Structure 1
């Protein structure tokens, strides 16, 4: 039983109803974010939504607000450095979670792949880099659309799961390989991997988790306790 379920059982019926409504709103907001990513909308509408989205994720993300801001800064700097170092003809994306960076995409040579990793390692505050860049031609629109759809399905299934908290996970897909990041317990990690593996179209699941204990999770959920800093990465594990 998740902490949310424990809280619901211990409160009055009216409080339980409020929690369910809140959960429904978070699910709707999360799915809206996924749909926007899937359609790859650009421009002022997405920027306008960003202010709301940031507030939502600060409230539900297990990273601190400072860590979220740092991850966003790392991604921006990493993408800019890769673009300057490699130029046109590559498609590389940096995804940062708790200052761990995942690199996905396509480059024409092994030298380009290693160069991308080196420039990202030079970004301030990066703790670790998992280089999953493919060597080959840039993915076409069909491949990109398929990856986006897989991410959408995995994300939705994580949100629908009643025994874990979907917003604790960051999902990235490249060439049908799903990468899962997050600050989670081993129980949550195992369940998320199972969900991702069972999703249509997924060829492999790779995890980049920060594993915490169940007690640490309870402490994070208790606003009266001071949260300890997120744990250091425990390695990159193909699942």
Structure 2
């Protein structure tokens, strides 16, 4: 019985230490560590069990940085949007007030060090129109296919957002050559008006 109580006590101290470490990360970023409340708390336990505290700490740092970038850019953005970070892959969700807010949210997410991929599932409250939205979706789908089948491009490192025929490329490129190939693919898709590049070259 004494041994069992000692084991429980030691386990409790370990979880308490982990909690303090995560809390420190959140306060260091001058912004809340999580937006999602109770659901995010459950994810934190899963992260710790599956990857260990070091893996969780890395994702927690990324989340804190993006939270801070969003908060500094717009309190409205910070309150409307949410995210999940898993091994450097960032899933963005929530409802933006317009297309510009969605673009800015993705652009800012890519600015955080350690981000490997941004998955944009942010919805817009007021879509411009069914036909325009369908055309933009078709452009993004065509471009995603071209990037995916180009073996010289790491397609998972690029985010694509199309608004009124304007393609916004965001993410990271291993070289200028890779970035140029991605831009050329975007320009070659039918109905593309222009290409706006927010990709960082890290090679």
Q: TM-score range by the shorter chain?
A: 0.3 to 0.5
TM-score, normalised with respect to structure 2: 0.45
Larger Rg, first or second structure (1 or 2): 2
TM-score, normalised with respect to structure 1: 0.39
